[in-house]
Amino acid sequence: MSIQAPGPIELPVLATQECQYCGVVVPDARYCGACGAHLVHEGPHAARRLHSYAAFPDEPVLRLSSVTALFPHLSHRARAPFSAGLALFVVLLVAFALAGTSAPLVALCALSVPLLFLLYIWEVDPYEGSFILPTGICLVLGAGLGTGWAIIGGSYVTKALEPSVLSRFGSTTSIVAALVVPAVAQVLMIVPVMVVRFMQKGDVESLDGFVAGATSALGFTLAATIDLMSPWLSNGQLTHQSFLTNLTQVFLRGVALPLTSALATGLVGAAWWVTTRSTPSAARSRWLTSLPLALLVAFSVQIGLGFADIAALTDAVIVVVHLAALGALILAVRVGVHYVLLHEAVHVHIGPPRACPHCAHLVPAMAFCPQCGVAERAISRPHRASPARPADEVPTV
């Protein structure tokens, strides 16, 4: 019996239409492959498609999801494991706080989010070429700057938290602790991003900038957290303070600080890296992708939290304030990344057929998947060149 080799893939003739938003002739499907506009729901908001986040089109842009905000390059199937990983770290933090074990608690606060982010970098392989050098620079330089900041800036925060200073909220020490210390921290987190930006040559993409920003911030917070929490190993913090006070500190150091810093600096990196086409996209609002706006968001959140931290709030209120800031930042980052991806789509040609890594449909390679609308640049590079499977195994556009 002879076995016939599989023949070339049989593809139907591609039906096309002219997109009413960008004027490009694109496949007749749910989304415009050139500008990403939603072609089924017509109207003034179709080009902005706020119901369909460009990195995860099955989610609305304004959703409070920290995982899809912090890991925009993540593949569809990897979203659940990363969500479970983040939840597991939070459960372990509470468990170690309950058990009163200082060393694992400090280590987990410092390392949990950075480790998860390194796993993400390994999974999505950012930057053109190797990710090892830029990631190493961001982590090591960020950690060095974080150590220096914690040694110098931490003493100002400690002084501002002393009762004698609390009665003088407008004193120089408290102003420095609330305003200057967090602002300097944000500047220092951006320094490694500048170094990597000037090093990177060739085809740069905005989500590479996001990775650089988040990595720098996480290197910074890792070192700062170890420095600020190291006294816990010897001063009996877990036995002398109430459980709720310790749990609040664990939440602030291990969850809120790294996530807030990574999102804020990641947004700055994405805005810095973005390259938009000369003709404005139909999505408009390009100002949402601008670097000054990203810097304004980052510094506003950091300084706002700096004032909250020295305002003698109760544990419950300070947790609520940090959660509210984190929620607002998640939404700001998702809006920023969404518009960055909409405006960054510069290739309008209809490419060869391939299986979309997000929805698995057989579609022509374009700036946006014509079927599910995911932005090509939100797909990690290793997954972009998925070989096309036979036409009878996957649905076509």
Instruction: Check residue 35 for interaction with Zn ion (CB under 5 A).
Output: yes
Terminal Cα distance for the chain, rounded:
36
Which residue has tokens 């990363």?
82
Instruction: Check residue 378 for interaction with Zn ion (CB under 5 A).
Output: no
Binds Zn ion (CB under 5 A): choice among 256, 340, 369, 375: 369
Binds Zn ion (CB under 5 A): choice among 32, 141, 263, 283: 32
Which of residues 20 and 172 has its CB atom nearest to Zn ion in the complex?
20
Among candidate residues 395, 274, 285, the one with its CA nearest the CA of residue 346: 274
Shortest distance (Å) from residue 182 CB to Zn ion? 40
Give the count of residues interacting with Zn ion (CB under 5 A): 13
Instruction: Check residue 355 for interaction with Zn ion (CB under 5 A).
Output: no
Instruction: Check residue 55 for interaction with Zn ion (CB under 5 A).
Output: no
On whether the CB atoms of residues 72 and 337 are closer than 8 A, the answer is yes
Which of left, alpha, beta for 395 (phi over 0: left; psi -120 to 50: alpha)?
beta
Binds Zn ion (CB under 5 A): choice among 253, 358, 377, 383: 358
Instruction: Check residue 368 for interaction with Zn ion (CB under 5 A).
Output: no
Using CB atoms within 10 A of its CB, is residue 208 exposed (0-12), middle (13-18) or buried (19+)?
buried
Which of residues 35 and 177 has its CB atom nearest to Zn ion in the complex?
35
What string marks each residue from 302 to 341 as x (binds Zn ion by CB under 5 A) or -?
----------------------------------------
Shortest distance (Å) from residue 24 CB to Zn ion? 5
Helices (H), the chain: 66-70, 79-99, 102-124, 132-160, 163-166, 172-175, 181-199, 206-229, 237-240, 243-251, 257-273, 291-309, 315-344, 381-384
Instruction: Check residue 34 for interaction with Zn ion (CB under 5 A).
Output: yes
Shortest distance (Å) from residue 279 CB to Zn ion? 12
Helices (H), 230-314: 237-240, 243-251, 257-273, 291-309
- DSSP-based three-state secondary structure for 194: helix
Which residue has tokens 């991003």?
193
Which of residues 322 and 354 has its CB atom nearest to Zn ion in the complex?
354
Which of residues 16 and 101 has its CB atom nearest to Zn ion in the complex?
16
Residues 124-183 that bind Zn ion (CB under 5 A): none
Q: Rounded to the nearest 5°, which phi and psi values hold at 168?
A: -120, 75
How many residues does the structure list for the chain?
Answer: 397
350: tokens are 């209809």
Binds Zn ion (CB under 5 A): choice among 61, 371, 376, 377: 371
Instruction: Check residue 21 for interaction with Zn ion (CB under 5 A).
Output: yes
- DSSP-based three-state secondary structure for 83: helix
User: Interface with Zn ion by CB under 5 A: which residues?
Assistant: 19, 21-22, 32, 34-35, 37, 356, 358-359, 369, 371-372
